[in-house]
């Protein structure tokens, strides 16, 4: 939890931001009118929940948020505040970013990761099925040859012989075509992986998070490359 006191610095007439023992000045000297108090509003930052609140520090102070007069309320980083009768404008985000490190939202990466992992798992299961059918088809071939040799005398003048072999041939052909159609297209797999590596990346610096599971990323809390912090997901 951080509290930033915002007001006018009387000497330079800049915007003064005070947070604990740190003071920072914003804007050009002389830019802040006297209608802004020395301690005009407080912005409270709840870092864990990523929430921001504004509080008017004196009832006599005029404070507008997006054009509406307020005493105390929750605000967003994009909200525009106007201070004092002259309505000195400043963005909540500009005040907060002076003291709080930037955070990026990576919640969309959860879906990208899960979706890719599910697809890869499905492909692996399909590959298993294809392998099973290949094994069956080679067993059939072997047994057909073996039975042809062993049962030669029995089958020789039997009219069922060509029917049996014809049927076996059709089954084999079917299995071969089916497994061929089912087998993974390496180009498609590579394209999918490339797309994943591209999408599953840091919104700030663009580096790919590769095969790091989403949960691990959130546990780490920041990008290993540029160090930007990730917003917690509520």
Q: Establish if 217 lies at the interface with Zn ion (CB under 5 A).
A: no
- Contacts of residue 59, defined as CB under 8 A and 6 or more positions apart, other chains included, come to 71
Size of the site for Zn ion (CB under 5 A): 6
Q: Establish if 225 lies at the interface with Zn ion (CB under 5 A).
A: yes
Residue closer to Zn ion, measured from CB, 63 or 202: 202
Residues 148, 169: Cα–Cα separation, whole Å: 13
In contact, 112 and 196? CB cutoff 8 Å: yes
Q: Establish if 226 lies at the interface with Zn ion (CB under 5 A).
A: yes
Residues from 171 through 210 that contact Zn ion (CB under 5 A): 202, 204-205
Question: Helix, strand, coil: what percent of the chain each, to 5?
Answer: 40, 25, 35
Q: How far is the CB of 223 from Zn ion (least distance, A)?
A: 3
Q: How far is the CB of 104 from Zn ion (least distance, A)?
A: 8
Q: How far is the CB of 202 from Zn ion (least distance, A)?
A: 3
Binding region for Zn ion (CB under 5 A) out of 61-69, 144-152, 187-195, 220-228: 220-228
Q: Angle 108-150/160-182 helices, nearest 10 degrees?
A: 160
Structure tokens at 160: 């069922």
For binding to Zn ion (CB under 5 A), which residues are involved?
202, 204-205, 223, 225-226
């Amino acid at each position: 939890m951080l509290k930033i006191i915002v007001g006018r610095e009387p000497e330079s007439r800049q915007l003064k931001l005070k947070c604990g023992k740190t003071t920072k000045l914003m804007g050009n000297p002389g830019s802040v009118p006297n209608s802004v108090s020395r301690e005009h509003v407080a912005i409270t930052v709840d870092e864990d929940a990523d929430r921001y609140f504004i509080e008017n520090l004196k009832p006599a102070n005029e404070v507008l948020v997006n054009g509406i007069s307020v005493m105390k309320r929750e605000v967003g980083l994009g909200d525009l505040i106007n201070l004092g009768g002259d309505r000195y404008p400043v963005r909540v985000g500009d005040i907060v970013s002076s003291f709080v490190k930037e955070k990026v939202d990576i919640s969309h990466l959860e879906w990208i990761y899960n979706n890719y992992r599910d697809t890869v798992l499905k492909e692996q299961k399909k590959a298993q099925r294809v392998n099973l059918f290949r094994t069956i088809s080679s067993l059939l071939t072997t047994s057909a040859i073996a039975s042809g040799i062993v049962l030669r005398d029995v089958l020789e003048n039997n009219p069922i012989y060509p029917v049996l072999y014809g049927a076996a041939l059709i089954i084999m052909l079917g299995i071969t075509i089916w497994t061929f159609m089912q087998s993974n297209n390496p180009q498609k797999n590579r394209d999918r992986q490339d797309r994943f590596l591209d999408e599953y990346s840091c919104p700030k610096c663009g580096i790919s998070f590769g095969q790091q599971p989403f949960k691990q990323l959130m546990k780490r809390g920041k990008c290993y490359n540029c160090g930007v912090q990730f917003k917690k997901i509520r």
